[in-house]
Amino acid sequence: MQSRPVRLEVAVDSTTSLNAALEGGADRIELCSALADGGLTPSIGFIGAALQVSEVPVHVMIRPRAGDFLYTEEELTVMRMDIEGCKEVGAQGVVFGVLMKNHTIDVKRTLELVERARPMKVVFHRAFDVAADLEEALEDLIQCGVDEVLTSGGDDSLEHGHQMVSLLVRQAAGRIRIIGGAGVTVRNARQLWDATGVDWLHGSFRGEAIAGSRLAMGDEERELVRITSREDVARVKHLLTIERQPAV
């Protein structure tokens, strides 16, 4: 029988996706812009609007640009200001990740940002998966006081990295929450939950929709946009609440 609760966090980058995630039963929202770039910091207006309509916690992505996780002092200043802004409008948590050139956790700056974020919750995002030694990186995050870490086990997807995630869950031993993410779908969500031992899964559960305008903005040439599927969120939630049947 099912012996541990499971929760579902949905990453969204538009009000349409936000509403779909909430209607589908998301337990928490990761609020971003530009999910096609891995997720960047959303506007303060989007944050405020999300907090007005959401009855579940909203965690805000703090990432000033796409690319690597080696930030200049100017970029860190932007991150500090964004964290303060999230605190002022009442966000429940923030999500960020800062690394060193040698692919270790930037402990000094992570600790500073964690302290700045309080009393909000802090999640270290999949920059963690770039770390050279995941077990060492996990201990660093615990020492910094990070509450949760999103990971695919250092692989390109949770499906490929699920064994490492299972090891990290055991290593964490309740000292930090491990969230499994990357490539979680209706097809594999239940299997990945069973295989990893996590009590939170993360995904965007997006499908394609025709854009309302054919006008290209900047380098954008696609006519399709990707939005969260309410149906997929609801189906995953259902799959994760079905109790295991006892062996015959």
pLDDT tens per residue, range 222-239: 557 889 999 999 999 999
Q: Is pLDDT above 70 for 216?
A: no
Average predicted confidence (pLDDT) for the chain: 93
pTM of the model: 0.91
Mean local confidence (pLDDT), 141-165: 98
Task: Note the pLDDT of residue 207.
Answer: 87
Q: Is pLDDT above 60 for 65?
A: yes
Question: What is the per-residue pLDDT across 16-27, written as a single tens digit (0 to 9) for each?
Answer: 999 999 999 999
Mean local confidence (pLDDT), 90-112: 98
**Nearest to 236, CA basis, from 189, 166, 176, 181:** 189
Q: Is pLDDT above 60 for 212?
A: no
Task: Note the pLDDT of residue 6.
Answer: 87
The CATH fold assigned to 7-206+232-239 is TIM Barrel (3.20.20)
End-to-end CA distance of the chain: 13
Task: Note the pLDDT of residue 222.
Answer: 54
Task: Note the pLDDT of residue 246.
Answer: 43
